[in-house]
Amino acid sequence: MSKKLSDIAKQLNISPKDLKDKIVELGFDVKQTARTIEDDLAELLIEEIGTNADAGEPTDADAAKIYEEIYDQQLDREIVKKQRKQMAGKDLSKDKKPIKKEDVQLDQLINKPDVIEIPAVISVKEFAEKTGLNAAKVIGELMKNGVLANINQQIDFDTASIIAGDLGLNLKKKRDEAAIEDMMSGDLTALLKEDDQDDLETRPPAVSVMGHVDHGKTKILDYIRNTNVIDTEAGGITQHIAAYQVVNNGKKITFLDTPGHEAFTAMRARGAKATDIAILVVAADEGVKPQTIEAIHHAQEAGIPIIVAINKMDKENANPDKVKAELAEQGLQPEEWGGKTIMVPVSAITGQGMDTLLDMILLVAELENLKANPNRKAVGTVIESHLDKSLGPIATIIINTGTLRIMDNVVIGTTYGRIKILKDHSGKNLKQAEPSRPVLIAGLSKTPKSGDILQVVKDEKTARTQAMQIELLRQKNSASGGNAAKDLIARINSGKLKTLKIVLKADTKGSLEAIIQSLNKIEDKEVAIKVIHSGVGNITESDVMMASASQGLVIGFHVDSPYQVENTARREYVEIFKYKIIYKLIDDIKALLSGLIEPEVVEVIIGKVDVKKIFFTGKKELIVGCKVRNGKIQNKAMARVFRGDDEKPIGELQIASLRRIDEAVDELKEGNECGIRIAGYSDIQEGDVLEVYKTETQVRTLT
């Protein structure tokens, strides 16, 4: 049976709206359309509201008593439901005894999951629904803990955990989705964060093999996995990044074969960021080379331990002690010399030291305590990608954490899709891939970029939306790509940049050492200076990519940067500063740390134009006939107006449109005649000269 709310309101001499408010205050969710409530609740409300109508708000003790009564009534109802199931043959057994009220708790009768996942903030109503508890019981427990809340109020995870502990529930905080900025920048730190360390399990190490070209990196991997990769590649140089997994002493190791050729410096930087341990391959007969030093710096920037494999020990002129001495100069002190760097003499031809190398990898991995949570949505890093004729866009992924499964919806940078094919390095089809496993995936909307982050999302719509957001963010950054210095200043001023990383190139080794010493003397309370790579010679694309991977800048002293290098710098949003005087360099770095330096905006005069005839004069526009005297004229460019012998311009204007005869054009060179429409400026006469110019934000060059 049930009673109408309107009848109860009349009996209590209050309005139906006030009655509904009272019911909500007591922890019950009454919809706006509800007109009746159950008899037992009606009687309780009449008694409670009637008793306290003139006494103000109920005390904590009064409220707790009400909730205990409601709890008791719900317990009765749950017992009846349980007994009816038994009588109906469900859950029926010979030794089943009647349920006695004093022997059970309400929580025992309501089926709830073992672990209940809730967000960082949740309403009392949502918490009650997820836990299967009555809202009144939840409010009562909150009051016992000194928290007064109605059914619509929000509680945080810590408060919910206290209640859950009292009620014997196991709560877990729902993982927040990764920020779009983190996914775009490849910031794995935020993506891999785990609130509960108990969820973590030991995972295989992901190993990056790095070093100078032709020092035997691929030969070492070839020996380990007993396959021949080199014969299928052009010129014996690795032309792509590939990942493999091997087993040593029952434990898995993932290898990343990173190219050593200078043309693939960018991929090597990505490879170092995606792995846990770097194997630095150095030829025993050649020693440390420029790309060896670059590889060391990449690994150090990635913050991963380095194991040195001194290869080609089978050569007659092999000199491992010379190699160790050269590496010690680069900060890698061998263990036998009192340092911390493991160095293993090996030969990819004879197999000398290969077992020891694998054992050292597992030892370092154990010391690093590498762990991941396999029971969450997968996060991975793209190692390589390309367009396959039969499968479409495919990518090689290393799973950083979580488990990737067939038919998972994923977003990878500006790409999204559903995993339709999942293969391991041997081509075997998989249903799922656990942490540290390298896999090939297909089912993507387009080919992702190396270094992009893969994240599993709940559905295709979410994947598409996030991919579009990342695309828009990249376009926005691209549009402002000429302001890399401004971005550095903004990060310094906001406190986000704690270390200013510098790639330094100079004309001589003496100059290099002097500049490094001067930079080390600069002190700043907020930002430290770190030279992550230095060398002698012109600025190269490799230098730019090193700075890009580390979010730093490039400084050149008495060196040049070719046109293609500057193009790369603009594409990668890297600022290049070039100097000829050391104190200017030091002053600018100090100014940059203070947030004072700005990108250099310069005016470039592109041509001069003679005004031959005025065709039309209006209030707000002019149309004039001109001839390009020298240089060129461009549509939408700015121009200064000179008259007679005056050295100073009499005005400035912008070219609104440019035509040659009846054809609209964007640009005309010396000797061409044209018609120009000028808006917003009218003081022009025949015989005037227009000096056409444009403004550019240039790569900063101080001399």
pLDDT one-digit tens code per residue, 77-103: 656 666 666 665 555 444 455 555 555
Domains 204-369 and 484-598 share a fold: yes
Tokens of residue 336, six digits? 């036998």
Token representation of residue 324? 């160790």
For residue 406, what pLDDT is reported? 93
Please, are residues 695 and 603 in contact by the beta-carbon 8 Å criterion?
yes
Q: Three-state secondary structure along 155-182?
A: EEHHHHHHHHHHHCCCEEECCCCCCHHH
H or E element at residue 66: helix 60-87
Single-letter amino acid code for the residue at 174? K
- Measured over the CA atoms of residue 192, residue 196, residue 199 and residue 202, the dihedral's sign is positive
Backbone angles phi, psi at 493, to 5 degrees: -65, -35
Tokens of 373: 């949570």
Question: Helix-strand-coil percent breakdown of the chain, rounded to 5?
Answer: 35, 30, 35
Taking each continuous run of H as one helix and of E as one strand, the counts in the chain are: 21, 34
Domain assignments of the chain as residue spans, ordered by start: 2-58, 65-173, 204-369, 379-464, 484-598, 602-696
Cβ neighbours for 246, distance < 8 A, ≥ 6 positions apart = 224, 225, 252, 253, 255
Of 572, 511, 628, nearest in space to 185 by CA: 572
Q: Which residues of the chain have pLDDT under 70?
A: 1-3, 24-115, 118, 167, 174-196, 227-242, 257-273, 476-497, 524-526, 594-600, 697-703
pLDDT in tens, 564-594: 888 888 877 788 889 988 888 888 888 777 6
pLDDT of residue 498: 72
User: pLDDT at position 116, please?
Assistant: 72
Torsion of CA 82, 85, 87, 88, to 10 degrees: 170
In three-state form (DSSP H/G/I as H, E/B as E, the rest C), the secondary structure along 260-311 is CCHHHHHHHHHHHHCCCEEEEEEECCCCCCHHHHHHHHHHHHHCCCEEEEEE
Residue partners of 353: CB distance under 8 A and separation at least 6 = 309, 313, 344, 345, 346, 347
Residue with tokens 């090689």: 396
Dist CA 465 CA 463 (whole Å): 6
What's residue 19's pLDDT?
Answer: 73
Query: What does the alpha-carbon distance between residue 320 and residue 536 come to, in Å, rounded to a whole number?
Result: 26
Q: Which residues have C-beta within 8 Å of that of residue 83, sequence separation ≥ 6?
A: 98, 99
Residue 186: φ, ψ to 5°: 80, 25
First vs last C-alpha separation in the chain = 93
Residue with tokens 């495919």: 394
Question: Is the domain covering 204-369 a CATH 3.40.50.300 domain?
Answer: yes
Which residues are within 8 A (CB) of 660 and not within 5 positions of it... i.e. 6 or more apart?
668, 672, 673, 674, 675
580-614 burial, b for 16+ CB within 10 Å, e for fewer? eeeeebbebbeebbeeebebeeeeeebbbbebeee
Angle at 248 (CA atoms; ends 243, 252), nearest 5 degrees: 50
Q: Any idea which fold 602-696 has?
A: Elongation Factor Tu (Ef-tu); domain 3 (2.40.30)
Given a contact cutoff of 8 angstroms between Cβ atoms, the answer to whether 552 and 532 are in contact is yes
Output the CA torsion 673→678→681→682 (10° steps).
60
Chain centre distance of CA 289: 33
Burial of 25 (0-12, 13-18, 19+ CB in 10 A): middle
- Rounded Cα distance between 378 and 335, Å, is 37
Q: Hey, what amino acid is at 460? A: E
Going by their DSSP bridges, the two strands 638-642 and 673-679 should be labelled as unpaired
CA atoms within 13 A on the CB side of 145: 18
Q: What is the model's pLDDT at position 271?
A: 47
Instruction: Judge whether 674 and 668 are in contact, CB under 8 Å.
Output: yes
Rounded Cα–Cα distance for residues 299 and 208 (Å): 9
CA-based nearest residue to 278, from 193, 338, 218, 365 = 365
Q: Write down the CATH number for the domain with range 484-598.
A: 3.40.50.10050
Helix spans in 106-247 (H): 106-109, 124-131, 135-144, 157-167, 180-185, 188-191, 217-225
| Residue with token string 């080379």 | 289
CATH class of the 379-464 domain in this structure: mainly beta
pLDDT attached to residue 263: 37
pLDDT for the residue numbered 428: 86
| pLDDT for the residue 299 | 81
